[in-house]
């Protein structure tokens, strides 16, 4: 259309383009609840006709929320240390950079925990202006070292209070779930208590105990229930013969294939299986108020060494735009964190989920005691 705003034209192209990203079929890797931040940058080598990254769903209209064109323009140079993998967010950050002629991004990808340590080691000379993390634990770890600075209140107010702190904000979320095979089990067979899946559950189970998201789930149980109760739960699933898989996408594939009846995974792996095979016999169930129901976030912060803190905050603001939030919903099947964009799939809203209210997400980075406990029980991690 003659005279149309070029950003508006680009926005529509971007929204359409996200629907095709999933054809790559990368296996084994998105984030996760993991405190170690390693999963987004690794591949399990697990090949399947079902792509690891979602290709989006048809029939979604334009998202609500604030468009990038309505946000403060980005101008200058910005260095981002990203614990989120390039294959997941590379197209998004490139799109943001391309919107503005006077804006230049230098994105350095890596493991979230490694990047935290790198920023700490580099001290005041770190080139990192923004740290984009796979999980809240790494954001909290950097904040605890005094290496972040406060974000503007109008930015923080874009998401719910539990998904932000003074110096960091969540940008997308993941719900912990118990997927199950609908040919082996019914919804009535699934419990809303994680305790019922240890020992006495009437079906076969699978998990990925070396995966950071699974280890963070066990960490949550340890923080909420104590080490002894967690040990008993772990002993129960081990004695019942739980099957190990290299990653949580593989767990969901095994459920859909009928290898196992149920498992423990993040919610988006089920959606990715269904995106590739809409008739696959797999559905999602949720526990309530316990470690099986944790909801974690990827997020970002401006470092204390940022040369232009306002530019860093406005870049983060773009990650909470209508376009970016719809990108996360369509492309990675994560939960958008602004209320005007809905998740993809037959999922409860964030308001309908029941995560444990007393859990501090930043504590999920405390993995060492969890790994020691799992090994002590005889789990190969």
Question: What CA–CA distance (Å, rounded) separates 57 from 379?
Answer: 38
Largest CA distance in the chain: 68
Question: What CA–CA distance (Å, rounded) separates 327 from 180?
Answer: 27
Quote the strand ranges of the chain, DSSP E: 76-82, 103-109, 130-133, 148-149, 168-181, 205-207, 243-244, 262-263, 265-266, 282-285, 295-303, 335-336
Give the domain ranges of the chain. Answer: 6-173+296-344, 174-294+354-377
Segment among 21-30, 80-89, 198-207, 268-277 with least mean pLDDT = 21-30
Q: What counts of helices (H) and strands (E) characterise the chain?
A: 12, 12
Q: What is the value of pTM for the model shown?
A: 0.85
pLDDT of residue 141: 92
Please check the confidence at residue 55 and state whether its pLDDT lies above 90. no
pLDDT of residue 25: 32
Which pair of tokens denotes residue 292? 């099986």
Q: Which residue has the tokens 């504590």?
A: 363
Please check the confidence at residue 15 and state whether its pLDDT lies above 60. no
The DSSP-derived string for 74-107 is P-EEEEEEE-S-HHHHHHHHHHHHHT-TTEEEEE
Residues 256/250, Cβ–Cβ less than 8 Å: no
Question: What CA–CA distance (Å, rounded) separates 316 from 132?
Answer: 9
Tens of pLDDT, residues 268-317: 999 999 989 999 999 999 999 999 999 999 999 999 999 999 999 999 99
| Average pLDDT for 245-261 | 97
Question: What CA–CA distance (Å, rounded) separates 32 from 135?
Answer: 7
- β-pairing, 168-181 vs 335-336, is antiparallel
Q: Enumerate residues 6+ apart whose C-beta is below 8 A from 335.
A: 172, 173, 174, 175, 267, 295, 328, 329, 343, 347, 350
Question: Which CATH number does the domain 6-173+296-344 belong to among 3.40.190.10, 3.40.720.10, 3.30.410.10, 3.40.50.720?
Answer: 3.40.190.10
| Average pLDDT for 165-181 | 97
Residues 270/276, Cβ–Cβ less than 8 Å: no
pLDDT of residue 200: 82
Q: Which residue has the tokens 């979604």?
A: 60
Which pair of tokens denotes residue 280? 């696959």
Question: What CA–CA distance (Å, rounded) separates 308 from 79?
Answer: 10
Tens of pLDDT, residues 258-272: 999 999 999 999 999
Residue range 174-294+354-377 in CATH 3.40.190.10? yes
Q: Do domains 6-173+296-344 and 174-294+354-377 have the same CATH topology?
A: yes
pLDDT of residue 60: 65
| Average pLDDT for 359-380 | 93
Q: Which residue has the tokens 């989120």?
A: 84
| Average pLDDT for 85-110 | 95
Question: What CA–CA distance (Å, rounded) separates 143 from 149?
Answer: 8
- β-pairing, 103-109 vs 76-82, is parallel
């Amino acid at each position: 259309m003659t005279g149309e705003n070029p950003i508006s034209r680009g926005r529509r192209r971007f929204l359409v383009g996200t629907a095709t990203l999933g054809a790559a079929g990368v296996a084994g890797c998105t984030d996760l609840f993991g405190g170690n931040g390693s999963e987004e940058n690794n591949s399990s080598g697990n090949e399947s006709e079902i792509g690891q990254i979602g290709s989006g769903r048809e029939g979604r209209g334009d998202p609500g929320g604030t468009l990038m064109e309505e946000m403060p323009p980005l101008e200058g140079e910005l260095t981002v240390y990203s614990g989120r993998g390039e294959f997941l967010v590379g197209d998004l950050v490139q799109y943001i950079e391309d919107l503005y002629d006077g804006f230049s991004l230098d994105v350095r990808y890596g493991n979230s925990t490694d990047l935290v340590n790198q920023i700490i080691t580099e001290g005041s000379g770190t080139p990192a202006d923004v740290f984009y993390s796979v999980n809240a634990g790494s954001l909290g770890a950097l904040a605890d070292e005094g290496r972040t600075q406060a974000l503007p209140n109008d930015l923080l107010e874009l998401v719910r209070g539990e998904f932000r702190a003074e110096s960091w904000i969540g940008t997308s979320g993941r719900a912990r779930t118990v997927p199950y095979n609908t040919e082996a089990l019914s919804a009535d067979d699934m419990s809303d208590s994680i305790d019922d899946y240890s020992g006495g559950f009437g079906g076969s189970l699978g998990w990925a105990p070396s995966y950071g998201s699974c280890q963070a789930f066990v960490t949550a149980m340890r923080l909420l229930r104590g080490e002894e109760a967690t040990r008993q739960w772990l002993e129960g699933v081990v004695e019942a013969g739980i099957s190990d898989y290299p990653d949580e996408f593989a767990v969901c594939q095994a459920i859909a294939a009928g290898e196992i009846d149920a498992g423990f995974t993040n919610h988006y792996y089920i959606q990715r299986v269904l995106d590739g095979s809409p008739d696959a016999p797999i559905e999602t169930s949720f526990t309530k108020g316990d470690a099986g129901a944790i909801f974690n976030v990827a997020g970002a912060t401006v470092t204390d060494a940022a040369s232009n803190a306002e530019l860093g905050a406005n870049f983060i603001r773009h990650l909470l735009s209508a376009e970016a939030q719809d990108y996360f919903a369509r492309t990675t099947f994560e939960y958008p964190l602004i209320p005007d964009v809905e998740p993809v799939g037959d999922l409860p809203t964030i308001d309908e989920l029941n995560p444990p209210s007393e859990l501090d997400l930043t504590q999920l980075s405390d993995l060492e005691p969890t790994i020691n406990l799992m090994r002590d029980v005889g789990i190969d991690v």
